[in-house]
């Protein structure tokens, strides 16, 4: 593991992808700029789910709830005249985190399948809550009149500026998350995933560690939600639907659990595959379904695991 | 509240409850015996409804359509088990969720290709259409009563099957300790396929009976599968008895929630119920595993 002289396939792919992302707006095709902005936002969500799923072993089937909460925070604040990102985005982060404290404190009492289902239940509650919240669009959703302002520093209304803003946020999130999983906190979380009873016996308050991890993950998802509201300029309960949580899970598992970068690749792959397959046939899902099953059955560590080759599979 | 209204809504709740039970029984068995989370159980419900709707159009008879569609649904279920799910029994729940989620995408699209995007409407059989007087001055749709009756009969048959036959004994044993059953020389593979076929039959039957009261459309499986998961989690995974009690409870809670509460709260009632049950009993009401 330790003595690698040459960059391995993963590092090469990472650099190529990064370079590609840096150059997308230079082609001047609005369609691609918007597509890749969306991909980066979903990459952030996938990464946030990987923190609890890949590192903490907590299979949340309701992650889209926090994504949607972030989006609704921005939308509701905008409707009440708050346009600046310096208020709206922190509010989205804090709002998602606070809700996650409540949901996490109850859900983390259970484990395994019960945890999957209780997170799903909470996400459904929030979905129906916003679905019937007529003041803010109800089932139709609500439009966002314009993107949040960043105190005149840059113009997010310009697609290229917004693209690079999202890119910087994505890279910062990745860096901070990497530091976090390598820190003492991250080690404890991974220890809990491997054997919670042993960690408790070592004297760690495992419940608190798991809850903090859950809340951090939700906060990042909320941030991504704020970004997607700015990207689509439209907020609807569909952001919180359970199939959206399923999509995010697919990205993480497809990309490779517990690698941070893998789930981001998963988001890239899934959304690109949608675009490409949709170009061939309107019934592209009939191709995507079996493709996913093949990945699950034959590539157990996801795309990232494939890139690593056999040597790192333990 | 008017006692007659309570009575009528109680019947509606019971009707939703037995439908949920048909779904939940199969799902909880598959989960209990094979330890498999099958999100695609709703697809079997949808396929059952579409097959029955097609046969009804061709033959003109609801009963004949059901009799033709059930074996086909069982066949499709067993094919899914043999081709895809068998590879997933040893995997963790995460892989199963992903693969069966992919199956949903596949079957939804398949149905859209074969039957087109528009919804189908099934007519209730002539014998069972119309209303019946259940109390002086109170009428109730006959077909819904028939659903309740069929559901209760199936529940009884299932109880007899599980509690008093050799197959049922193996299923119970499998839900308690799979490895031991295999070690004792039972053909586990065949048992799994049979259990899956049984679950498919029940899901298909539920879909066929839902046809005349709801519309037959793509996505009908997803709306019920989530409810079904709520039911089996409340009841305790792997427990048929738990599934029955939880189905009726969820059916009644949901129905009365819609009558008594504003819509925002009504849709949330069952999820609140589930979160509350899991808070007090993290393994559900009747956990089947030790």
pLDDT class for A112, splitting at 50, 70, 90? confident
Q: Measured between alpha carbons, how far is residue A295 from residues A262, A270, B43 in Å?
A: 14, 12, 21
Q: How confident is the model at residue A314, as a pLDDT? A: 41
With beta carbons less than 8 A apart as the criterion, state whether B207 and B47 touch.
yes
Kindly give the interhelix angle for A30-50 and A261-280, rounded to the nearest 10 degrees.
140
Separation CA B140–CA B8 (nearest Å): 8
Number of other CB atoms surrounding residue A6 within 10 Å: 7
Q: How confident is the model at residue A2, as a pLDDT? A: 53
With beta carbons less than 8 A apart as the criterion, state whether B224 and B20 touch.
yes
Separation CA B176–CA A132 (nearest Å): 42
Separation CA A251–CA A50 (nearest Å): 10
**Residue B290 included in any domain:** no
Q: Domain-by-domain residue ranges, chain A?
A: 36-241
Which ipTM was obtained for this model? Answer: 0.79
pLDDT at residue A263 is higher than 80: yes
What is the average pLDDT score of chain A?
88
With beta carbons less than 8 A apart as the criterion, state whether B103 and B50 touch.
no
Question: Alpha-carbon Rg of chain B, whole angstroms?
Answer: 19
Number of domains in chain B: 1
Q: How confident is the model at residue B139, as a pLDDT? A: 82
Rounded to two decimals, the pTM is: 0.86
Number of other CB atoms surrounding residue B149 within 10 Å: 11
Contacts of B256 (CB under 8 A, 6+ apart): B9, B13
Give the closest of A125, A296, A297 to B271, CB-based.
Answer: A125
> What mean pLDDT is predicted for residues A112-119?
86
Separation CA A126–CA A62 (nearest Å): 10
DSSP string, A150-185: -TTSS-TTSHHHHHHHHHHHHHHHHHHHHHHHHSHH
Verify whether the Cβ–Cβ distance B102 to A116 is below 8 Å: no
pLDDT class for A284, splitting at 50, 70, 90? confident
Q: How confident is the model at residue B35, as a pLDDT? A: 84
Verify whether the Cβ–Cβ distance A109 to B282 is below 8 Å: yes
Where are any strands of DSSP class E within chain B?
Answer: 131-135, 138-141
Q: Is B106 on the interface with A (CB under 8 A)?
A: yes
Q: How confident is the model at residue B289, as a pLDDT? A: 56
**Residue B3 included in any domain:** no
Kindly give the interhelix angle for A242-255 and A30-50, rounded to the nearest 10 degrees.
80
Q: How confident is the model at residue A313, as a pLDDT? A: 44
Give the closest of A110, A133, A246 to B278, CB-based.
Answer: A110
Q: Which of A233, A268, A236 is nearest to A250 (CA)?
A: A268
**Residue B168 included in any domain:** yes
DSSP string, A70-138: HHHHHHHHHHTT--BHHHHHHHHHHHHHHHHHHHHHHHTTS-THHHHHHHHHHHHHHHHHHHT-GGGTG
> B residues 55-94 near A, CB within 8 Å?
84, 87-88, 91, 93-94
Number of other CB atoms surrounding residue B126 within 10 Å: 10
Task: Tell me the sheet residues that pair with A84.
Answer: A149
Q: How far is CA B274 from the centre of its chain?
A: 18
**How many separate helices (H) and strands (E) can be counted in chain A?**
13, 2
Q: CA of B84: which chain A residue's CA is closest?
A: A293
Q: What percent of chain A has pLDDT over 90?
A: 49
- B237 neighbourhood in chain A, CB within 8 Å: 113
With beta carbons less than 8 A apart as the criterion, state whether A199 and A216 touch.
no
Verify whether the Cβ–Cβ distance B93 to A114 is below 8 Å: no
pLDDT tens track for A131-153: 888 888 888 888 888 888 877 77
Separation CA B80–CA B75 (nearest Å): 9
**What DSSP designation does A52 have?**
I
Q: How confident is the model at residue A3, as a pLDDT? A: 55
Q: Measured between alpha carbons, how far is residue B89 from residues A252, B30, B84, B86, B97 in Å?
A: 21, 11, 10, 6, 12
CATH number of domain containing B99: 1.10.3470
Task: Tell me the sheet residues that pair with A149.
Answer: A84
Q: How confident is the model at residue B42, as a pLDDT? A: 92
Q: Which of A295 and A213 is assigned the larger pLDDT?
A: A213
Give the closest of A117, A131, A286 to B110, CB-based.
Answer: A286
- B88 neighbourhood in chain A, CB within 8 Å: 296-297
Please identify every stretch of chain B with a pLDDT value under 70, giving residue numbers as ranges.
1, 288-290
Q: Measured between alpha carbons, how far is residue B53 from residues A11, A286, B50, B106 in Å?
A: 54, 23, 5, 20
pLDDT class for A5, splitting at 50, 70, 90? low
Give the closest of B95, B106, B284 to A289, CB-based.
Answer: B106
Residue B134's domain spans which residues? 8-280
Separation CA B143–CA B135 (nearest Å): 17
Separation CA B182–CA A84 (nearest Å): 63
Separation CA B204–CA B154 (nearest Å): 13
Q: How confident is the model at residue A306, as a pLDDT? A: 81
Verify whether the Cβ–Cβ distance A283 to B112 is below 8 Å: yes
Classify B216 as helix, strand or coil. strand
> What mean pLDDT is predicted for residues A206-220?
96
């Amino acid at each position: 593991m330790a003595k690698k002289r040459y960059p391995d396939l993963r590092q090469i792919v990472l650099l190529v992808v990064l370079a590609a992302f840096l150059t997308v707006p230079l082609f001047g095709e609005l369609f691609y700029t918007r597509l890749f902005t969306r991909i980066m936002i979903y990459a952030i969500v996938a990464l946030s789910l990987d923190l609890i799923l890949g590192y903490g072993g907590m299979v949340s089937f309701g992650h889209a709830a926090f994504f949607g909460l972030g989006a609704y925070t921005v939308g509701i604040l905008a409707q009440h005249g708050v346009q600046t990102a310096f208020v709206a985005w922190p509010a989205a982060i804090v709002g998602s985190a606070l809700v996650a404290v409540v949901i996490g404190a109850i859900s983390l009492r259970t484990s395994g399948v019960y945890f999957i289902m209780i997170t799903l239940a909470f996400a459904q509650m929030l979905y129906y809550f916003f679905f019937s919240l007529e003041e803010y669009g109800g089932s139709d959703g609500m439009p966002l009149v314009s993107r949040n302002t960043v105190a005149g520093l840059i113009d997010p209304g310009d697609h290229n500026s917004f693209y690079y803003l999202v890119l910087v946020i994505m890279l910062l999130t990745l860096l901070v998350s990497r530091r976090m999983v390598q820190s003492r906190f991250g080690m404890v979380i991974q220890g809990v995933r491997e054997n919670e009873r042993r960690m408790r016996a070592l004297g760690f308050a495992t419940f608190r560690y798991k809850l903090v991890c859950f809340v951090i993950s939700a906060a990042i998802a909320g941030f991504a939600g704020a970004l997607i509201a700015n990207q689509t300029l439209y907020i609807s309960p569909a952001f919180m639907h359970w199939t959206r949580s399923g999509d995010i899970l697919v990205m993480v598992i497809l990309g490779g659990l517990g690698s941070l970068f893998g789930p981001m690749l998963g988001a890239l792959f899934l959304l690109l595959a949608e675009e490409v397959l949709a170009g061939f046939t309107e019934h592209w899902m009939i191709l995507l379904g079996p493709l996913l099953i093949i990945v699950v059955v034959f590539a157990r560590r996801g795309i990232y695991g494939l890139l690593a080759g056999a040597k790192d599979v333990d | 509240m008017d006692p007659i209204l309570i009575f009528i809504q109680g019947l509606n709740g019971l009707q939703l409850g037995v439908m949920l039970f048909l779904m939940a029984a199969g799902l909880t068995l598959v989960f209990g015996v094979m330890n498999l989370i099958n999100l695609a159980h709703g697809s079997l419900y949808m396929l059952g409804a579409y097959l029955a709707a097609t046969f009804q159009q061709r033959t003109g008879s609801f009963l004949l359509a059901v009799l033709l569609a059930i074996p086909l649904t069982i066949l499709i279920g067993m094919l899914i088990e043999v081709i895809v799910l068998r590879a997933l029994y040893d995997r963790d729940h995460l892989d199963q969720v992903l693969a069966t989620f992919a199956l949903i995408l596949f079957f939804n699209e398949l149905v859209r290709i074969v039957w087109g995007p528009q919804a189908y409407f099934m007519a209730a059989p002539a014998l069972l259409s119309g209303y019946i007087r259940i109390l002086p001055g109170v009428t109730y749709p006959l077909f819904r009563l028939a659903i309740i009756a069929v559901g209760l009969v199936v529940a009884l048959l299932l109880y007899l099957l599980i509690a008093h036959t050799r197959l049922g004994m193996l299923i119970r044993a499998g839900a308690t300790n799979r490895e031991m059953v295999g070690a004792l020389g039972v053909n586990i593979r065949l048992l799994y396929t049979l259990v899956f076929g049984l679950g498919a039959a029940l899901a298909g039957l539920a879909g066929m009976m839902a046809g005349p009261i709801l519309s037959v459309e793509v996505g009908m499986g997803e709306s019920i599968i989530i409810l079904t998961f709520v039911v089996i989690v409340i009841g305790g995974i792997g427990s048929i008895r738990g599934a029955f009690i939880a189905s009726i409870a969820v059916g009644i809670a949901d129905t009365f929630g819609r009558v008594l509460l504003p819509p925002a709260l009504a849709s949330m009632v069952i999820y609140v119920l589930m979160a509350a049950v899991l808070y007090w009993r993290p393994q559900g009401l009747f956990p089947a595993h030790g």
